[in-house]
């Protein structure tokens, strides 16, 4: 790029584009998808629960796994009704001791610091659960239905916001709108499929093992981890787009 004046700071570049055009595209692309999810989430959650019921029923007595419905936002939401297993005093104490040991010793790990930090985070959550069930197990206020309700309703909220989050991230990029729309729809489908599989595993754990793992499952592996694949999809697309457009002077401009 020929310039009469070369500025000292050339570390960053910006993408050209109209802010108003971005807002119009955001409204036209993301709002219909979010509204579509808003009106079909009863059907999605019903199918999710039917699949979960079919998979889980083979491990329980007849009638132990049921599909129920509750009101949510504009229509009913379908849930799995299943009983959670409370841990024994020994199981609670063992979980507390193991979690405490991990918190104490993992920070001294010389390799895999990032993995060690994640396991310390998991251990801290499980430590609180183990301590609670060791000291006051009868005060635990949540059941398997409560966990099921929280999970499904949180998943619906994630499905509603995925088009908006990815739309804000992808639409300003200098590329055709069709691939961006396909990526957003792919993220939604992946979230529904992965969310169903995770739902089955979570219900199996709290019913067969113990409700002591409720907090660990939800906060460490629950719907919040959906941001991992959302960021992954965004990074994959932008890296390929940046390589494709790295020599285009009409797209990129220096930021001063």
Each residue's pLDDT tens digit, 34-84: 999 999 999 999 999 999 999 999 888 888 899 998 988 888 899 999 988
Which residue, 205, 202, 119, 111, is CA-closest to 154?
202
Instruction: Look at residue 248 in the predicted model and tell me its pLDDT.
Output: 63
Instruction: Look at residue 169 in the predicted model and tell me its pLDDT.
Output: 84
Residue 126 lies in a domain: no
Q: Check: CB of residue 145 under 8 Å from CB of residue 79.
A: yes
Give the mean pLDDT of the chain.
85
Q: Check: CB of residue 66 under 8 Å from CB of residue 142.
A: no
Instruction: Look at residue 242 in the predicted model and tell me its pLDDT.
Output: 78
The torsion of the CA quartet 58, 64, 69, 70, rounded to 10 degrees, works out to: -130
Average pLDDT over residues 80-91: 91
Instruction: Look at residue 19 in the predicted model and tell me its pLDDT.
Output: 67
Residue 250 lies in a domain: yes
Residue 63 lies in a domain: yes
Residue 147 lies in a domain: yes
Instruction: Look at residue 249 in the predicted model and tell me its pLDDT.
Output: 57
Instruction: Look at residue 256 in the predicted model and tell me its pLDDT.
Output: 42
Instruction: Look at residue 255 in the predicted model and tell me its pLDDT.
Output: 46
Structural domain boundaries, residue 79: 13-86+140-254
Instruction: Look at residue 73 in the predicted model and tell me its pLDDT.
Output: 84
pLDDT above 90: residue 254: no
Summarised one tens digit per residue, pLDDT across range 176-188 is 888 888 889 999 9
Cα–Cα distances (Å) from 11 to 14, 39, 77, 254, in that order, read 11, 46, 50, 8
Average pLDDT over residues 163-182: 85
Q: How many domains does the chain have?
A: 1
Read off the pTM. Answer: 0.83
Residue 130 lies in a domain: no
How many whole angstroms separate alpha carbon 206 and alpha carbon 186?
30
Summarised one tens digit per residue, pLDDT across range 197-241 is 999 999 999 999 999 999 999 988 887 788 888 888 888 888 888
Residue found by looking up tokens 């599989």 in the block: 197
């Amino acid at each position: 790029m020929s310039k009469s004046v070369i500025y000292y700071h050339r570390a960053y570049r910006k993408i050209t584009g109209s802010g108003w055009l971005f807002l119009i595209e955001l409204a036209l692309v993301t709002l219909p998808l979010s509204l579509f999810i808003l009106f079909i989430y009863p059907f999605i959650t019903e199918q999710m629960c039917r699949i979960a019921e079919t998979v889980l029923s083979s491990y329980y007595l007849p009638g132990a796994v049921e599909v129920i419905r509750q009101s949510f936002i504009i229509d009913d939401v379908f849930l799995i009704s299943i009983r959670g297993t409370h841990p024994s005093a020994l199981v609670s104490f063992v979980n507390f001791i193991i979690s405490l040991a991990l918190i104490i010793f993992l920070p001294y790990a010389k390799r895999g610091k990032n993995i060690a930090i994640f396991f310390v985070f998991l251990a801290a959550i499980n430590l609180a659960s183990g301590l609670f069930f060791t000291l006051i197990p009868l005060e635990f206020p949540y059941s398997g239905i409560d966990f099921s309700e929280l999970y499904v309703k949180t998943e619906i909220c994630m499905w509603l916001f995925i088009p908006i989050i990815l739309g804000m991230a992808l639409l300003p990029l200098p590329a055709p709108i069709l691939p961006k729309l396909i990526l957003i729809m792919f993220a939604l489908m992946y979230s529904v499929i992965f969310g169903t599989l995770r739902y089955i595993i979570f219900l199996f754990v709290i019913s067969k093992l113990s409700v002591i793992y409720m907090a660990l499952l939800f906060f460490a592996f629950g719907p919040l981890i959906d941001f991992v694949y959302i960021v992954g999809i965004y990074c994959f697309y932008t890296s390929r787009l940046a390589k494709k457009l790295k020599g285009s002077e009409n797209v990129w401009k220096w930021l001063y």
